[in-house]
Amino acid sequence: MAKVNVDLQRERDSCSFNITELTHWIDGGVQKTEERKKREEMALKEGIHLEPVPSVYLSHKEKYELAVKKACLLFKMIRKLQEEENAGMENYLAVLGGNLGAAILGDGNPLTLHYVMFIPTIMGQGTVEQQAYWIGRAFNLDIIGTYAQTELGHGTFVRGLETTATYDASTKEFVLNSPTLTAYKWWPGGLAHTANYCIVMAQLYTKGKCHGIHAFIVQLREEETHMPVRGIKVGEIGAKLGMNGTNNGFLGFDNVRIPRDHMLMKNSKVLEDGTYVNAPSSKLAYGTMMFVRVMLVNDMCKYMAKAVTIAVRYSAVRRQSQPKPDEPEPQIIDYLTQQHKLLVGIASVHAFRMSADWLWLMYNNVTAELDAGDMERLPELHALSCCLKAVSTDDAAQCVERCRLACGGHGYMLSSNLPLTYGLVTAACTYEGENTVMLLQTARYLVKAWQQAAAGNTLPPTVSYLGELRAGRRSPPWDNTIEGIVKGFHMVASGKIGICVAQIEKRQKNGMSYEDAWNMTSVQLASASEAHCRAFLLSIYYKDNEKQVATVSPELRIVLQQLCDLYIVYWALQRIGDLLRFTSISERDIEQLQNWYEDLLVKVRPNAVGLVDAFDIRDEILNSALGAYDGRAYERLMEEAMKSPLNAEPVNQSFHKYLKPLMQGKL
């Protein structure tokens, strides 16, 4: 192994805690770390991630073909691992997520939706018979599926989808059609040239009546030749900001017939004579989307961890400026402004990880309750998964971009892996529900919760603070502690929701319809949802961190508590305007918070490299010239530069073709 950069080594030597202990804590125990390392070792030993020519220099078509090749090799390897170990879903989740998967398929995986949407939808919405027929075939990769909901003309507004599935009782078939150009499915990953089956969300018509959106399994391509089946119009949507290996496609239907039992009928049914049998609840179809949103929060943690690892290591290696004339140039991580940009990113990973774990637990509990016919907590889970999806993706996009900027010009290089990471993260702000719409969905729940509290009803746990805070109109004295800040954030959320409800009621009294009043209040409603989510994040991080640090060594406990304090104080300073408006915080309190924050930056600074090392992201997964473990940033930048095809020859042909004639006046 190459010699480690001296500055980086010194950072590690002066770390105050055991880095391996923190890695085990993050992973959930020694055994989980060992399993992860074994999985990584096996995947990377196969060399699937290696590229003779960096894929950034390939054509669009070549990028896709390489992505398919890698994806096939990857899942072949995972299948072998599953057979050897009889393991659960962990292996699949790891290769589909933001670490191992992104290391091998850096610009998107054309098979992701097969595992993340196609199979889970059949599991969640298919009958026992449908599951028995389809899931085995899908898991063995006898067929490859995707999930088509979004259309050219409609995305988040699912009720507006135009694709139709009309039941023909004489043949016991559904006939699918795209009545307009805007009805074409648009965006599904793997749809263009990879999948041969698809779950299609379409408006169901039977006996002349529309019954809304339902899920249908449609064959897209012949299993042997892969040619599109009759009536299917399918292709690729073109180059995008990122994820160009994902093979996003468009899909149109021209009288495509499918058997009746290709409608997923666990909830709603269409009988042979065309009679429609309603689902016990329209909310039962939420499952797949919520599963994906829960997974997304976890994924964002992985991408943030990558970005801060790259930026913190590079900041320890990079030396710049000379504030003191007689001293050497300092490491840029010694500048407080750099610490301000990066250290909250480390804390964010832990904050979102704890909220993701909490959400995952709630998701599993609510899913079990649903199977038992209990839907009481479903709206709460839906509201929470919507706002956490929005806030986690937005924070992750800002975190990755802040890390890129913190690396100066070199962060702009694709070889830093920060631009590509940004492309993957910012895509998540609009897929699986556009973020503003997600916040407004949560707002609907919060308005109802406020009204329930006003009627004296008991509220579910995540909104119980509304009942407590509605009663006391006067602000209690400001408490400048971590607990006080968390309480302050609940007061902000409660105050904002209360104002929204009052605004809507006032506008209705002035003659506005409820819909118009809602729209006029929607900027404030989105802000109230964000405040609710922020209060939840801070509260869970504070409470769960308190519980979890009890099991670690005293040295590590101090650092983890500092990190939690840093995160909460940082957000208090980010939301000073809200705190001034809704709490009794004073100018003196704010000054103390600022000093406290700066003091925390200085305390966390000596352990910054140790904290990112503990994420334990291998160089092959990080894939960054700036962030490698050995800190040889400059050497690696030059090595990557030499891989450019333009450096293969000293004189490019364009000189003789264009430049020379121009310079000699003969062009």
What CA–CA distance (Å, rounded) separates 458 from 50?
57
422, 404 Cβ separation under 8 angstroms: yes
The closest of 83, 103, 81, 105 to 91, measured between CA atoms, is 81
- CA 397 to chain centroid, in Å, comes to 10
Residue 212: strand, helix, or coil: strand
**The residue type at 46:** E
Q: Please name every residue paired with 177 in a beta bridge, in sequence order, or none if there are none.
A: 164
Containing 232, the helix (H) or strand (E) segment is: strand 232-236
What residue type is assigned to position 68 of the chain?
V
CA distance 350 to 347: 5
Q: Do 184 and 164 contact (CB within 8 A), yes or no?
A: no
Phi, psi of 241 (to 5 degrees): -60, -35
Cα torsion 71, 138, 136, 92 to 10°: value is 40
Q: Catalytic site residues?
A: 432
* Three-class SS state of 274: coil
- Contact between 148 and 198 under an 8 Å Cβ cutoff? The reply is yes
| DSSP annotation of 179 | -
Are 608 and 343 spatial neighbours (Cβ–Cβ below 8 Å)?
Answer: yes
Q: Dig out the tokens for 95 from the structure.
A: 């290769």
Cβ atoms of 317 and 390 closer than 8 Å: no
Question: Quick one: 435 exposed, middle or buried, by C-beta within 10 A (0-12, 13-18, 19+)?
Answer: buried
> Residue 479's CB: how many other CB atoms inside 10 A?
16
Q: Are strands 164-168 and 197-206 parallel, antiparallel or unpaired?
A: parallel
Supply φ then ψ for residue 616, to 5 degrees: 55, 50
Q: Are 453 and 459 in contact (CB under 8 A)?
A: yes
Nearest-angstrom CA–CA distance, 202 and 492:
41
Q: What are the distances in angstroms from CA 197 to CA 194, 219, 226, 472?
A: 9, 4, 11, 57
Task: Tell me the C-alpha distance between 459 and 583, whole Å.
Answer: 23
In this structure, which amino acid lies at residue 92?
A: Y
Rounded Cα distance, 570 and 597, in Å = 7
SS3 of 114-155: the string is: HHHHHHHHHHHHCCHHHHHHHHHHHHCCCCCEEEECCECCCC
How many angstroms separate the CA atoms of 515 and 493, rounded? 23
- In the chain, the N- to C-terminal Cα span, in Å, equals 52
**Cα–Cα distance between 494 and 505 in angstroms, integer?**
17
Nearest to 228 by CA among 206, 262, 205, 254: 254
Distance CA 400, CA 421 (A): 7
**Alpha-carbon gap, residue 507 to 518, rounded angstroms:** 9
